[in-house]
Amino acid sequence: MHLTEQKITQTLESNYMPYAMSVIVSRAIPEIDGLKPSHRKLLYTMYKMGLLTGNRTKSANVVGQTMRLNPHGDMAIYETLVRLTRGYDALLLPLIDSKGNFGKQNSRDMAFAASRYTEVKLDKICQELFRDIDKDTVEFIDNYDGTTQEPMLLPAAFPHILVNPNQGIAVGMASNICSFNLREICETTIAYLEDEGVDIMKTLLAPDFSTGGQLIYKQNELREIYYTGRGSFKVRAKYRHDKKNSMLEIYEIPYTTTVEAIMDKILDLVKTGKIRDISDMRDETDLNGLKLTLEIKKSTDPDKLMNILYKLTPLMDTFSCNFNLLINGMPQVLGIKNILFEWSIFRTSCIKRQLQFDIGKKSEKLHLLMGLKKILLDIDKAIRIIRHTEKEADVIPNLMQGFEIDLLQAEYICEIRLRNLNKEYILKRTDEVDSLAKDIADMRDTLSNEKKVRKIIIAQLKEIAKQYGKERRTEIIEEEHVAEITHEHLIEDFNLRLFLTKQNYLKKISLVSLRAAAEHKLKDEDSMMQEIETSNKEEILFFSTKQAVYKMKIHEIPDCKASALGEYLPNLLGLDEDERIRYMVVANGYQGMILFSFENGKMTKVPLTAYETKTNRKKLANAYYGNSPLVDIRLLRDSDTDLVVTSNINKVLVFNTEAINAKATRDSQGVQVLLSKKGSIMVKVQALEQSELTNPQYYRNQNIPGTGKYLKKEDDKSAQLSLLDE
């Protein structure tokens, strides 16, 4: 095999560039008439088939005929046809009237029927797309094999480019044009033609889609799109709440998504437990239109649930605009005013070409009638010339000579039937001379007067708006009427219970699950150390044996069942190898105090607010005093309480925590509560109501510190247990 070296730039220029330009110019980017070549070839074929006024024909027939202009496979042509139909519902202004199953724009899985089963014809609006096309309004070019001709553009009598959505992906560029309401576009175009400095936002309210929905109106976003041709806006679904049956019915969805995509996402959210309020979901779409039904719990706030679904699913979607279209074969991204400017130039050209065509036709007719008028002066002479001419070939030259008329006039006169060679007929025909002359003069005046041409365009736009204009499908809602959905709104709130075991397993179990649960599953020699009832939206603090506090959002902790071991905290929190969690506290607005008790008899009371941070810090060091081993941690949420502290020599002290002043610093060593005697240390702290002391006042100290009193025999549970054993 022989290889030759070639520069990459040369290869791209000779091979890639022609392909890229072909895709841009001849396939993917729409032109000023709002059509791509494939659309135009299809519609013009249907026009030539007489489908603008005739009955419907099988789609297969149209597809076959279109191949004369579009050398592609039948399926590619049929898919193009499907998108333009009324049945498919992709266009705000359908161009093809259809009968049969063509699928739906809002369904991913609903397949269209084969072309042999469906029937089509051009919709009435196509009269405006093809208006005066037979009067030389647009240029015609040869088709791909030179056997027939096709229009380069259709002489659209309204800015169709902005009325129907159009999307195309070329090479190195793309186009995505949203649709606008026909009536609004016509009014805006009229206002622009009357005054180019007009604020188009006053008449062109917002984009409008065939699938309806609600457009969230942000003036700055739309202004950017209107004036630059780029930008984006949000469209969301419409729904109604059936209170009687506890159901949400979604009946309009964004243009950019499908029912199946929405259902897939909702199903995923339910499976992962992010949404718990939906018990069932059904697609109940029928001949009456789209309907996606969600069965919800009776206690569910439907508006709140929908706001969450808007945030997490394609029920609210973004439409990104890129108004890229071909102007004289060159791709350009234009704002709406610039598009209207280019369309007005194009439409003015169509009107002028049509006027020139009509002037030519009327001038030809006038010329013929002027010859007929000369015969009126002497009909007998004309008959005499014809009768006395021996050869047929000499009739026309003799008439030309006898009445001083040209060849065309003479041929026209010769074609008049004998029965029409009467004065009445000729007078009636020649009466048209004056009106024709006046019409030609008026048309020539219009042709040279830009203002009069604009008046024709405006009159046509008013007529189109009146005849074809419809109310908006997409509702406009102001930004301030849209609830702002933050991350907090997306967290489902439900009551639950947290369980902490001695071996540092954490279980998060909903109360609903807990009611139906069997016994807790624990590891061998493990036991429950602490349990707290709280809600899923709270924050939790874990105090470790290394004077650190770890913070987590409870919703970030996976749910589990009583029959599961739960989450292993050293892994969940990333603890050191010899570090364990000693105590957990639910933040609950950071109200209350944390009381730390140490072996050296000291206690410190730290406000919970000391652990509150503005940033989302996961770990705080120096959470409490570390120079003496920790005996007890407890939360004083609402008020102070009576506690019983015990030393290792059975000295007992009862006191109220009110005697301990709160410290601002987290690692404060606190105040002395239990004085050491003979080197004794504090070993136990418990609430007074849990102590079972027969006479608590005997051990009470009004002031701290104190040494406490020896435990009486009747209060010594360990002594009582040993006697029972004997």
Catalytic residue positions, numbered: 117
Tell me the C-alpha distance between 601 and 606, whole Å.
17
Q: Nearest to residue 657, comparing CAs of 594, 564, 720?
A: 594
Q: Which residues contact 248 (CB under 8 A, 6 or more apart)?
A: 239, 240, 241, 242, 293, 294, 296, 302, 305, 306
Question: From the CB of residue 65, how many other CB atoms can be counted at a distance below 10 Å?
Answer: 18
166 closest CA partner among 178, 157, 149: 178
Do the Cβ atoms of 47 and 154 come closer than 8 Å?
no
562 and 521 in contact (C-beta within 8 Å)? yes
CA–CA separation, 202 and 380 (whole Å)? 70
C-alpha torsion 37→40→41→42, nearest 10? 120
Between the alpha carbon of residue 543 and those of residues 188, 582, 633, the distances in Å are: 67, 6, 9
The single-letter code of the amino acid at 582 is R
The CA-based angle 305-307-313, given to 5 degrees, is 90
Which residues, in sequence order, are bridge partners of residue 635? 594
Q: What's the 3-state SS for 469-489?
A: CCCCCCEEEEHHHCCCCCHHH
Taking CA 691 as the corner, what is the angle to CA 685 and CA 697, rounded to the nearest 5 degrees? 100
First and final C-alpha spacing in the chain: 105
Distance CA 46, CA 40 (A): 10
> What Cα–Cα distance (Å) separates residue 631 from each residue in 547, 582, 595, 663, 681?
13, 10, 11, 19, 10
Sequence-ordered strand ranges (E) for 554-670: 567-568, 581-586, 593-598, 602-607, 619-620, 630-636, 642-647, 651-656
Is residue 31 a contact partner of residue 325, using CB atoms and an 8 Å limit? yes
The partner residues of 123 in beta bridges, in order of sequence, read none
Those residues whose C-beta lies under 8 Å from the C-beta of residue 637, and which sit 6 or more positions away, are 588, 591, 592
